[in-house]
Amino acid sequence: MGLEQNEVSLEQIAILHNRFKQLSQNEETLRRDDLKTIQDLESNPIRYQIIEAFFDRRNFQKDGVGSVEEIGFEEFLTVMSYFRAPAHHITEEQREEIRRAKLRFLFNMHDTDNDGTITLEEYRHVVEELLSRSGALGRETAKGIADAAMLEVASISVGPMAPDEFYEGITFEHFLKILKGIEIETRMHIRFLNMDTAVFCKQHSV
Amino acid sequence: MIQELTSRLKLNFPAQIIPRYSCFRRGSMFILVLGLLVGSLMPLGGASGSPGSGTGQDECKKNNGDEKNGNKTTKKSFPVLSLNYENVRLPFEISLWVLLASLMKLGFHLMPRLSSIVPESCLLIVVGLLVGGLIKLVGKAPPVLESNIFFFYLLPPIILDAGYFLPIRQFTENLGTILMFAVVGTLWNAFFVGGLLYGVCQLEGTNLAGVNLLSCLLFGSVISAVDPVAVLAVFEEIHINELLHILVFGESLLNDAVTVVLYHLFEEFTNAGTITVTDGFLGIVCFLVVSLGGIVVGAIYGILAAFTSRFTSHTRVIEPLFIFVYSYMAYLSAEVFHLSGIMALIACGAVMRPYVEANISHKSHTTIKYFLKMWSSVSDTLIFIFLGVSTVAGPHEWNWIFVVATLVFCLVARVLGVIGLTFVINKFRIVKLTSKDQFIIAYGGLRGAIAFSLVYLLNPKHFPMRNMFLTAIITVIFFTVFVQGMTIRPLVDLLAVKKKQETKRSINEEIHTQFLDHLLTGIEDICGHYGHHHWKDKLNRFNKKYVKKCLIAGERSKEPQLIAFYHKMEMKQAIELVESGGGSKLPSAMPSTVSMQNIQPKKPPQDRALPQLSKAREEEIRKILRTNLQRTRQRLRSYNRHTLIADPFEDGLDEILIKRKKMKELEKKMNNYLTVPAPPADSPSVARARLASDPQAWGLKSVTEIPTIKVELVSPQNPESVKVVDEFSKKGSQPKGSEEEGGLTMRVPSSEKQRKDKTPDEEPQPRFMRCLSDPGPAAEDEDEDEPFLP
């Protein structure tokens, strides 16, 4: 419902279908290992989270939870459609919906245990992964950075807290609030999905 | 005559100033400044113009008279006081002009009502007109804005300032749009205006038949370029959103290449006489050479500067000099080959900045920033004043039709160009440009001194109508700066254009920006599409792997951007904290109403493998965290997950007392380095709070041999780090003194081995603390060694 504006055009579907076939080696379903073989992903610090996102039922818009072992083209396309840019002439309401949907995608990537909040541990994990290429220095500072970030969220969302009170974790609403400054709906998009003309599909030696 | 002038001025100005009491004082100050100005003008007016100036001669005569008197009494008296103005004439005049410009700037800001209505550039031009008028009244020829002076001395500081502080992210995101406006827009303007003017000139009734097509095209190309100086001057005051700012400003910078090429092209053609298709083709090639060549030259000098800055750790004082000289050399080198000097300067500044900032000290950074701002401000002021003076001075040839036609065509061309280009550009943009944006872009196309100087450079032999061109250009400049400059601010308010957001970048946003970058790159890879995220990522990796290693000194080269950002933020907050009185008021940036205890869940602790981390680094990081993150309370026990409820007051008290005693001893030693006094002995809770919030307190202990208590103890932020400290101490070395158990953080960590390790690394710590506080005179030189980003 929320992603109606994010539907992809026919040509783009054809191109993505080709790519799907390529990755899954002409099978009907895609597995994690197929995605892991993409060479360019090797240097990406958050590749595991990205791959997980494809297999996360929460992103399939069918109100499911948990993860699956393999996905079909429909799910692949659904996940891809999160990265479509909003159309130009949409109402403020629709824009808000799109923003929520995209932020929900990001939230799901962080909230690995699906309890509805991003706890400090999960957030630390995120920052550590981001800095995972920096060795030991990264790991130590990651803790500090994650802590500082959590503090900031708590301060912004909840305000003054007595020492006995306890901040469980970042809920989705808080997440929306702190990322208000980033215009997610325009930043989180792939240009490829925007072009109406057919774009070549790179052949990867797998 | 002086009295007459001043009284005339006095009569004019008070009328504008409403005779209310508060304004009266400001008005009188302005009059004072003006009086100073007139007073300083008198020798100037006498001095400028032909050598052997009048005043000089007068004073010489006086002196001769004295001498003659002296001669009567003695044969040859030693000239006690002699005057030789000619020696110092040039620097004296230049200084007077600069002083005049600065005093004027001062004057304007003393009258806030005026400066809020009229942009500074207008006021400065008016002052220039006045000064020019005064000089003319005195009977001397007012100086004109020499093109050499303008291009070699006045323009580079402004451009360097713009290039060094260019917001790279927005610039590259909108590069396509900017290039479209700069290249295609300027070309369109040039040919439209040039062509139509030629058409007008051919009309009967105007005696402009002598103006041939090439001259018109040349004129059109000169006048169609949006001027960065004028744009900066006006846009700086209206604070519009970053997108529009970067679009108009970027366009004004990049269209220099187009202007240079067209200018030289048409100048050559005028000399040559005939044009062929080959020439046109060569023109296009020339454009590519000029722009890309300029960028390459700038980039080379930028890399050289970055490389040089890698070795300046021992000579911090001349670091800013390298930056300035390399950039200036880039500009001049580009000018040697008739490449675009502006683009070279921008490229140089933008390329060297990330590397230089990682290498230079904090003070050098401040120096560079303030010098650039100062020079560009002075240049900017001088340019506008000279523009006014040149208007009075310059030979004018007023031709109603030509001037009016120029003006109308310029405006029309700009509007049409913007609308047309936006229509095309919006097809490729994600964030489309609305009609409000288009209006601001069109309206912000101000012309300025570059156009004037370029026309001034024209050879009157080849261009007999040069004076007419000058007049027309001045009119257009005046119109855009006065009318458009003055009205853009109310229009921006009227149209409710989005203003610049003053929010600070939060750490969450930074984390997620990076996260998004990686996510999008990953998705692109999965799609198999090599989009611009992919290439950006590749560039970043290349940068990190090879370039940073060469150009950044020492450890900093491995620091990822997130950590650098974090350190910068913490450093800023630390400085704020200290400046705000050492913890009595915490900076609002990090509202510390929440402390870590609120966030830590009561989960069993996990075992972590110890990373190999240099102790100094760890200490540094902890220091940063501890001094800034929150008003720490000594709720240590709640972090020790074994005990859910504990009263830390009793446990912590002994340690606090010991600590305080130690601190007092240390404080005596370090007295001259600190501005924040040691906390007095008061009740435990107050003492704790004060200790916790006092950033100075923590740093002292690490300096001495005394087995000091590590501060992490009292900071409940990082339980894991607390554990790490324990393990560190247990691991390598035997702690001197008592050993405590129970997950307590109060550990006396010193041992031979540790201390040995620490001594070289300890250097940064006291220096770091000193950097935060106001260092005593002896500490000055050591301070410099601290790199800008610790």
**Rounded-to-integer distance, Cα B195 and Cα B179, Å:** 23
Residue B516 touches partner A, C-beta closer than 8 Å: yes
Token pair listed for A102: 């995209």
**B661-709 tens-digit pLDDT:** 666 666 566 554 544 444 444 455 544 544 444 444 443 333 333 443 3
pLDDT given for residue B25 in this prediction: 56
CA B544, B545, B547, B553 torsion-angle sign = positive
The pLDDT assigned to B723 comes to 40
pLDDT above 50 for B588: no
Euclidean distance between CA atoms A132 and A47, whole angstroms: 11
**Nearest C-alpha in B relative to A162:** B594
| In the predicted structure, residue A80 carries a pLDDT above the cut 90 | no
Selection from B406, B408, B455, B388 nearest residue B126 by Cα: B388
pLDDT of the residue at B662: 64
B417 pLDDT exceeds 90? yes
B599/A contact by beta carbon, under 8 A: yes
Question: A87 touching B, CB under 8 A?
Answer: no
A178 and B509 within 8 Å at the Cβ level: the answer is: yes
Mean of pLDDT values over B282-297: 89
Q: Is A161 touching B (CB cutoff 8 A)?
A: yes
pLDDT in tens, B335-372: 998 888 999 999 999 998 888 888 888 888 889 999 99
- The minimal CB distance from A152 to the residues B519, B590, B625 is found for B590
Neighbours of A25 (CB within 10 A): 11
B385/B74: higher pLDDT: B385
B269 versus B156: the higher-pLDDT residue is: B156
Preferred mutation among A83, A130, A203 to probe B, highest tally of B CBs within 10 A:
A130
Among all chains, which residue has been given the structure tokens 């659904």? A78
pLDDT tens column, A103-118: 888 888 888 787 878 8
**What are phi and psi for residue B225, nearest 5 degrees?**
-80, 130
More confidently predicted of B194 and B562 = B194
Phi, psi values for residue A56, rounded to 5° = -95, 120
CB contact under 8 A, B595 and A19: no
- CB-based contact (8 Å) between B630 and chain A? yes
* Mean pLDDT, range B283-287, rounded to an integer: 86
Query: Mind telling me how many Å the CA of B730 is from chain A's nearest CA?
Result: 19
Mean pLDDT estimate for chain B: 71
Say which residue, A123 or B23, is predicted with more confidence. Answer: A123
Distance from CA of B632 to the nearest CA of A (A): 11
Range of weakest confidence among A44-53, B37-46, B318-327, B530-539: B37-46
pTM metric for this prediction: 0.68
Q: How much is the pLDDT for B616?
A: 63
Pick the more confident residue, B183 or B596. B183
**Cα–Cα dist B283/B292, whole Å:** 14
Query: Which residue do the tokens 């109403």 mark?
Result: B593
Say whether B430 and A190 touch across the interface (CB within 8 A).
no
Tell if the CB–CB gap between B598 and A133 is shorter than 8 Å: no
Query: What pLDDT sits at residue B628?
Result: 58
Calpha distance B477→B489 (Å, rounded): 18
Angle among Cα B211, B258, B234 to the nearest 5 degrees reads: 95
pLDDT tens per residue across span A180-189: 777 777 778 7
In tens, the pLDDT along A127-182 reads 888 777 655 566 677 777 788 788 777 777 777 766 666 677 778 888 888 887 77
Q: Inform me whether the pLDDT recorded for B325 exceeds 90.
A: yes
Q: How confident is the model at residue B297 (pLDDT cuts 50, 70, 90)?
A: very high
**What ranges in B110-138 are assigned the alpha helix state H?**
112-117, 120-138
Residue found by looking up tokens 């109100």 in the block: A63
Q: What ipTM was estimated for this complex? A: 0.88
Q: Give the span between the Cα atoms of B393 and B387, in whole angstroms.
A: 10
Give yes or no for B610 touching A (CB within 8 A). Answer: no
Question: In the predicted model, is pLDDT for residue B418 greater than 90?
Answer: yes
Mean pLDDT in residue range B277-285: 83
Q: Which of A160, A163, A182 sits opposite B512 (nearest CB)?
A: A182
Confirm if B702 and B691 have CB atoms less than 8 A apart: no
Helix or strand run (H / E) with residue B424: helix B400-425
Between A45, A140, A190, which is nearest B621 by CB?
Answer: A140
Q: Does B408 score more than 60 pLDDT?
A: yes
Q: Quick check: B522 contacting A, CB < 8 Å?
A: yes
A113 at B interface, C-beta within 8 A: no
Q: In this complex, is the C-beta atom of A43 within 8 Å of any C-beta atom belonging to chain B?
A: yes
**Helix H or strand E encompassing B657:** helix B648-669
- The pLDDT value recorded for residue B300 is 94
Cβ contact B68:B9 at 8 Å: no
Share of chain A above pLDDT 90, in %: 0
Rounded to the nearest integer, the mean pLDDT of chain A is 74
| Tens of pLDDT, residues B129-178 | 988 888 888 887 777 777 888 889 999 999 999 888 888 888 888 888 99
User: How close does chain A come to B531, measured CA to CA in Å?
Assistant: 7
Averaged pLDDT for residues B10-30:
46
B718 touches chain A (CB under 8 A): yes
Closest by CA to B120, choosing from B382, B370, B317, B443, is: B382
To the nearest whole percent, how much of chain B has pLDDT over 90?
11
Which residues 632-651 of B have a C-beta within 8 angstroms of A? 633, 635
